[in-house]
Structures are given as C-alpha cells and as structure tokens.
Structure 1
Amino acid sequence: MIGVKIDFGILKKSGKKAIFIGILGHIVPAILTTCVFYFSKTSMSLDQVRNEILIWSMSSIVVVAYLLDELNLLNSKIGRLAIATSLIETAIDTFYRRIVTVRFLYSNAKSAITAWASMLAFIGYIFVIIFVARPITNRIVKRTPEGEPLSEVHFVFVIVMVLVLSLISEFIGHDMSLGAFFVGLALPSGPPLGSTLVEKLEGIISALCFPIFVAVIGLEVDFTRVVMFAYALRPMIFFDVVTMIGKTFGVMIAAFISRISFHKNLTLAFMMNAKGITELVHLHSWQDIKYLDITYYTVILMEILIAAALVGPIVKLIYDPSKRYYNGQKRRTVMHGNTNGELRVISCIHTQEHVPPIVNLLESLCVDSRRPLSIFVIHLIELVGTVSSILVPYQEGTSDSTSSSETIMSAFWTFEQKKNPKLITIQPYINVAPYIGMYDDICDLALEKKASIIFLPFHKTILLSNTMESSNEEQREVNLSVLRHAPCSVAILIDHGNIVNVDVAITKLIRSLVVYFIGGPDDREALSLAIRMGLNSRVNITVFHFKQKDEEINVDMGSENQDRDMIYELKTNFRERREMLVYKEEFVKDGEGMVDIIRMTLRSFDIILVGRRVLGGQAESILTQGVSMWSEVPELGCIGEMLASKDLGCQVTTLVVQQQQHINEL
C-alpha cells in the first residue's frame, strides 16, 4: 500500500536539489555521531551506535508523506521537496539495510556463501519484480477503461501476486514487509491501480491492522527496566540527540547551499526528523530476531513516540504557506489594474462540463490587441493512490495527461484559434492534488503569474429546469479555501446549463449584462469587471445602484467616496457610447424592495454580476440584513445565494465577485 503510492517521477521534478539534500542529510549525522563516539568514553559498542544512527538519520518517505498530508502541505513547494528528499533517503537506507542483513546472516550462519547467496537472491528478486510483475500490472492498467477501477479479477490477481512475492522475500532471508514495499514501488501509482488498492484496502489497514500492530508493539515494552537502568541508558539517549542534531544541520546546510530561505530551510529540517510507522516496523523486526535488548527497545520506542508527537505541531507552528499570499504591497485586482492593458486570469476547471460557460465568459473579456487577455487554465484532478501531487504545464501525450485533460485543453485551444492570437493566449496546467490542498497550487500560480482574478466553477450543477443536478462538497471546500487565501480577486461562476458546448460558447455571445450594485469593495470589483467586459463594443451594461430611502443610516464615508469614484469611472468609460450604458439609482426601503426589483429585471440579461459582500469583511448594508439572515452558501454572499436558489427561478448565468482581501496583514 505504501510502495504503490510512491511515484519516482517526483525526482525528475525536484531535480538535483532533493538528491543533494537527501544525501547530505543522511551522511552528516552518521559522520558526526561516529566522530563523537570515537572521541567520547562510552560504554556503548560501535554496533549499538550504528543502530541509533540507522534509526535517527533516516527520513522515511512514508512518514514524511503522512505528516504532510495531515498538515495539508502535501502539494506545497516545500512539501514536494520534502517528499523527493525523503525518497532519496529511503533508497539510501534500504541499500544500507541490505548490507546489514548480509552481515547479520554471515555472523549467525558463519558462512559467507549463505550471506552472499541471500544478497544475490534479493537482486534476482528485484529483477523479477521489474521485468515480470511490473509489465503484467502495466498490461492490466492499459486494459482498464480510463476513470474506471480495476475489475475484481484483476484486483484479486494483484493481491495474490503481492502476497506470493512477499513470501519469497521472507524465504530468501529478507523481511516480508520489505518485499511487499518493493513490489508496491514497482506497480504503477495513481489510478486505476493505486486508487483501487487505496479504496479497498486503506480503510482496513488504517482502522484494523495498524492499531493491532501498534498494540502488539506496546505489549513488548518494559518500563520498569528503563527506570532500573536509567543511568546506564544516558549514553544511548545522548547519541540519539547527537544524531538528530546532525540530521538537522545536515539538511539545513544542504538547503542553504541550494539557496532555500532560512524559514523554509528550518521547516524542511524538522520535516526530515519526523518519525512514525517505518521506524516502528524496523524496531519490531529487530525485536523479533532478538537483535535488541528489551530495555533499549523500550527507550527507542519512547523516543520515536516523542518525536512523532512533537514534529507535527512544531512544523505547523513555524510554517504557514498561505502567508506568502498576503503580500501587503501589491493589489492584484481588476479595479486596480490597467483598464487599457493586459488582463491576466486563472481559470479553474474540474470537469468538461465547466468548460463552455467559462469560455463564454472569457470570450466577452476579449477586447482588442491593446487589451490582451492571458488565460492560465488549470485542470484540477483529485490525488488518489499516490503521495506525489503535481502542478505542471500541460503537454499532450505525457504521463500526467488524461483523456479528460486532453478534451478540456483541446476546447480552450479551439477557443484560442477562433479568436485573434493577438487578443488571447492560453497557458494550460494540470494540478493533481488532494482537494483539501488544491487552493495552495491555485493561489501559488496566481501569485507567480500576477493574475488579477481567479475564476472558479460553482460546486453545484443547476439545470435550466432550475433543479440541482449534482453537488460536489470537495469542490466547494476548494472554492472556500481559495476565497480565504487568494492573493488576488476571485469570482465564482454559477452556470444554469445555458451553454452546452464550446461552439455554442463562442457563437452565443454575451451582449447584455447587469450589475446589482449596493456598495463596498466586492461590488466595486464586480463593476470593474463589468467595465472591462463593456469595452467590448457589442456589450450593453445596465447598473442598478440600490440606495436606502427615508432612513438615517451610518455610512462609511471612505467606502462611499470610492463607490462614487467607481460610478464616475463607469460613466467616463461610456461617455462616447452612452447608448450602451443604463445606470439607474433605485431607492428602496429595505431588502424586500431590492429583491423585488432584481426578480423583475434579471431575465432581460445574458449574465449577472454581483459582489460577494462577505459578512465580517465589510460593513453590511441594511438592505441585505434580512436577505443574509438564513445564509447557507456563504461563498456566494447573500445576493449570489439568492440568485442561485430555486425560489427566485433565475436561469441567467451569474458571476459572484470578491475583491482581493489580504492587503494589510503583514
């Protein structure tokens, strides 16, 4: 299970940096501890010190991957580097343990022939895995339709094959779990094989097998002996601490040479000191062959548990990847961008159904060669059956691409070809990550590409009959996380099934839009986006500016002045095309009056733009207090949620806009 989740392709993506850090992070603690041993007067033997080095200088990819997954850092840049580095260290550790196994067999059998026969048998065993087991599973994967799990017959065959090869590993003198691990490494990670194994086995393993294994380990400890020999155990604890310090400095030195910032450097060093299931497995195997005294076994187990308990909270305390999005200096919004310059947008796609409505929206933003549109398309794919998340430029025919990705990107390229190349450029990406961490890659790309706005699809599919066809709560969590952390503005697109394919999206043009404007940063951003769309000569804009009448209200004069400036900019942009703009000030007594006007007017337009008006982020208008009281979809705000509800009967495409929030947090 663990081996099949590991993809060696991460080494290609991380390059020499991971190899350098992995090697130095493994060698430095070994050299430091060995030197301290020779220069100190200790009762411990060299073999005992080597055992300590073996445990505390290693970083297991299994342990690191589960730590990163728990901290939601699996698809962060530092997380990807940690995975690749720990893979290098796992390989070094595996090679070293084979040498230790040969040496152990030689010392017990008193025969070099027996020891080397076991080593040669293991090499032959690896060849069988690579040249027999892997080709067979690759053929099974090719026969499985894309998007479908393995058939029951193929699943049972793979399980039987793994069990047989694991027994062979035990028979030739090596641990059964190691054999299963190597088989897993050789099998193709990800869907359909990795995802099927995870779906069918991970629950049993994590909920049943793992707790039983830990309980068995716990039954073998003897704390009374630790108390009795506490003084004699001090050298052992000392060398363990020395090894961990050496490990920390080894990783930090390598990371410093690789020009990684101190903050990330320190975080990576703590990640590499994580301990967990792998160390417990090695410790248990040593105990089974009576390689360790029960006292040493108990102390090492206690140290592993302490390290496992401390590393996670420390990493969480010192490293928050989302802080880099709160730049505090740069405003990445449509409102603060150059109206007559390039507009950069991030377009997020989960499924093929999300393509036509977003293409239809983007088409309206294509103005002229003086105002080009750069679109960074991200196909978001859930990470299943592997620990290595990716965010890479899309290249047709590569191992990262799927038929779904090819269909999506082909649609965008068709869109690009049918428009003037001077107006639009498409840069496609594939993001394979757990849903809980997808926001990090989306926000990171937006920050890197200096995007002004991120377009996200609404997590519910709404049909023309105004019924909800499906709802994806994982996609909703992605949207909520992007709204919380985005380094630019964000817009959620609510589609009602009006646009069924890309050809319709390109030909059924947006000719009229409406902005329901109350005031505040989100509404101003929605209006700025409408102005940008209005630069397209065919697009008519209608703005309903709702104001309260007959009441004394507290007004934020700063925000009120910015609202006036925004309205002035709107009128200025349409000074020479006044017939394309309709601006109405609607004085209403309360939210009910506003809703009545929206209900009467919304069917006259091709698209509706509204501000999210996030509660707590800006002063709530009295006009929205009653509307927002029963909010169930906070990512849409009160007006957006009302437009998406079945009660209003809206069948018009709606865009809910939130202006960049994190400006002054540093």
Structure 2
Amino acid sequence: MVELTEKLAATLKQDQGTDNMVVTDESVIDMMEHITQAFQSYIDKDGTGITLSRSHVLSTFNGMAKDLSSLAEDLMVSLILLPFHKRLSEDGSHDSGSPGFRYVSRKAAIIFIGGKDDREALSFAGRVAWHPGVELTVIRFLLDTNLENIPRRLIGLIDIAEEEAETKLDDESFTEFYEKYVAGRKVAYTEKHLANSSETYITLRSLKGQYTLIIVGQGGRVNSILTLGLNDWQECPELGPIGDVLSGSGFECESSVLIIQQHRLKGQIDGLNDDFSIM
C-alpha cells in the first residue's frame, strides 16, 4: 500500500484494456521491487509452504484504514502485519519515517452500562485513549428515569438498595474517567437514555459499521433493566449479554469485540470453595 499524493497521482497512466491504473514513478517502482525481493529472499531461504502474491494499492492516509479492511476481507486474511511509521537506522536510532502512518486512525468505542466489569472495561479504555492512532468514544447507556416507561413486571425485580450502591460506584468511576479523558478532549462522549433491554438491543444494532473495536464489560451488573431478558436467547452466555449480542450470528457485527471481566478473588465464583485459589 502506497500513499497516494498529488505528485504520484500525476504520474499514473491507464492500463490498456483494463480499468486499472499503472504506476510510472520510478521511486515507487523501485520501492515495490525492493519489498518484493525481500519477501522472495525470505521465502527462498525459510519459506517452506509459503507463496507470495503481490497486490499494489494506492490510498490516502485518511482512507488507508478502510482500504486495508476491505482488502483483508476480500482476500479473507486472518492476520495483518503493519510497519511502524518510524524506521530503524543502522546506529539503532529511529528516523521520522512516514508520520502519516501513525495517524491512520482506528475508531473504537466502549459501552458503559454499569457494574464491576463495565468499570474494569472503563479503566482499560483509559489506556486505549492514550494511543494517538485511536479515536475512542465512550457510550453510556442510562436508564430512563421515567418509571412509566418501565414495564411493571420488571420493577419488582429491582433491588433498590443494591442498585443504588452500584450506581454510586458507577457514577464515581465514570466521573473520574470523564474528568480525565472526556473533559481533556482525549475521548468523545455520548449517552443513550433507554427504557428497557429491547431499546438496548436496537441501540446496539445501530452501532454496526461505526467502529473497528467495541469494548464491553462481561457482566457483573445488578438487576439492570437495560439487560434483563437479553440472556433469554444467548448463544454464548460466557460473553455476557452485551458481548453475546455483538458477537451473535444474527447480528452481523463487523467490529472486533473486546470483552473485559474483572478479576475474581477466590470464593467469589459460584461453586468455588475458599480453600482453592485461582491460578
């Protein structure tokens, strides 16, 4: 993949009989041949079972992430290796390289509903936020405070005292994250006011195609009306209600999904005796 600049675009020529464009810039041709020779040399020496297939793609830095994803999907690629934007010199130092590669952005989102696993995921997202090549958005799902929108059969399932205690912890954790990252303009923020799990499901479906990575907590929520009922049709309960929806066969989510679970101390997992430790 080569950066498409105005200078390079001016040297392109139409390939006769096809819709393809041919690169005529000598420096680009030499670079591509050098890369091909390096791979071919490796294959000739240690590449038993490896075949080499070349594909030349011209793209602007802003479009590289999308073009790479499309190319990988077309070729059914399972692993992509990308070069770092800086190059290692013979003396061990790094030159400036092509800084544009550093900012080929990846759009990521974290969904925060509440509970210990979501708080753990939020903490992890704080580390992701520092990466200069990631555009992170935190999406907070909030319960519609109008109880008239909540089915009566669900109201009786709520442990008010426990819910209030968890909400307090959620608010403290989220406030700290907001002040550090959102107010500091490192992370974008949006919130969704929802009444039930049906609206949660619809909102999750609306995220399709918007992010390359979605971070969610595995579970650990206390009687959350926003997820109650989602486990009725779970395919993989170990992923949690939100993770299962995002990775379900009927969802067709094109994003990678990272599911975070807070470390459980011994005795905190159902069926685990205090005499045993988690290794």
Q: TM-score, normalised by structure 1?
A: 0.24
State the alpha-carbon separation in 1 of the partners of residues 233 and 118 from structure 2.
21
1:582 CA displacement: 2.2
Other-structure match for 1:582 = 188
Other-structure match for 1:599 = 205
Other-structure match for 2:170 = 563
1:532 CA displacement: 0.8
- Relative to structure 1, is the Cα distance of residues 639 and 575 closer, same or farther in structure 2, using a 3 angstrom cutoff? closer
State the alpha-carbon separation in 2 of the partners of residues 571 and 647 from structure 1.
33
SS in 1 for 2:122: helix
Other-structure match for 1:500 = 79
- Relative to structure 1, is the Cα distance of residues 576 and 557 closer, same or farther in structure 2, using a 3 angstrom cutoff? closer
Alignment identity in percent? 28
Matched residue pairs, number?
A: 171
SS in 2 for 1:502: coil
1:604 CA displacement: 1.3
SS in 2 for 1:524: helix
State the alpha-carbon separation in 1 of the partners of residues 231 and 126 from structure 2.
27
Higher relative contact order (CA 8 A, sep 6+): 2
State the alpha-carbon separation in 1 of the partners of residues 223 and 164 from structure 2.
14
Contact 2:235 2:248 in 1 (8 A): no
Deviations, residues 521-550 of structure 1 (Å, cap 9, x unaligned): 111111111111102234222122112222
- Relative to structure 1, is the Cα distance of residues 498 and 520 closer, same or farther in structure 2, using a 3 angstrom cutoff? farther
1:633 CA displacement: 0.8
Q: TM-score, normalised by structure 2?
A: 0.53
2:249 is equivalent to residue 646 of structure 1: yes
SS in 1 for 2:82: helix
Other-structure match for 1:544 = 139
Contact 1:602 1:608 in 2 (8 A): no
SS in 1 for 2:79: coil
Look at both structures and tell me which one has the larger radius of gyration over its CA atoms.
1
- Relative to structure 1, is the Cα distance of residues 645 and 527 closer, same or farther in structure 2, using a 3 angstrom cutoff? same
Greater helix fraction, Structure 1 or Structure 2: 1
1:519 CA displacement: 0.4
1:663 CA displacement: 5.3
Matches within 5 A, 1:346-425: none
State the alpha-carbon separation in 2 of the partners of residues 498 and 573 from structure 1.
37
1:662 CA displacement: 1.8
Deviations, residues 619-648 of structure 1 (Å, cap 9, x unaligned): 231221221112221221111111112311
Other-structure match for 1:31 = none
1:510 CA displacement: 5.4
State the alpha-carbon separation in 1 of the partners of residues 174 and 116 from structure 2.
13
Q: Give, as a single letter, the amino acid of the residue that structure 2 aligns with 1:562.
A: L
Other-structure match for 1:186 = none
SS in 2 for 1:556: helix
Q: Give, as a single letter, the amino acid of the residue that structure 2 aligns with 1:589.
A: A
2:117 is equivalent to residue 519 of structure 1: no
Other-structure match for 2:225 = 622
Q: Give, as a single letter, the amino acid of the residue that structure 2 aligns with 1:641.
A: D
- Relative to structure 1, is the Cα distance of residues 539 and 593 closer, same or farther in structure 2, using a 3 angstrom cutoff? same
Q: Which ranges in structure 2 are unaligned for 5 or more consecutive residues? A: 1-45, 47-71, 86-100, 148-154, 269-273, 275-279
Other-structure match for 2:68 = none
2:117 is equivalent to residue 528 of structure 1: no
State the alpha-carbon separation in 2 of the partners of residues 649 and 505 from structure 1.
31
- Relative to structure 1, is the Cα distance of residues 646 and 512 closer, same or farther in structure 2, using a 3 angstrom cutoff? same
State the alpha-carbon separation in 2 of the partners of residues 498 and 586 from structure 1.
35
Q: Give, as a single letter, the amino acid of the residue that structure 1 aligns with 2:232.
A: M
Across the aligned residues of Structure 1 and Structure 2, the Cα RMSD in angstroms comes to 3.1
Q: Which ranges in structure 1 are unaligned for 5 or more consecutive residues? A: 1-402, 404-462, 466-496
State the alpha-carbon separation in 1 of the partners of residues 215 and 249 from structure 2.
18
State the alpha-carbon separation in 2 of the partners of residues 575 and 523 from structure 1.
17
Contact 1:464 1:651 in 2 (8 A): no
- Relative to structure 1, is the Cα distance of residues 505 and 513 closer, same or farther in structure 2, using a 3 angstrom cutoff? farther
Other-structure match for 1:655 = 258
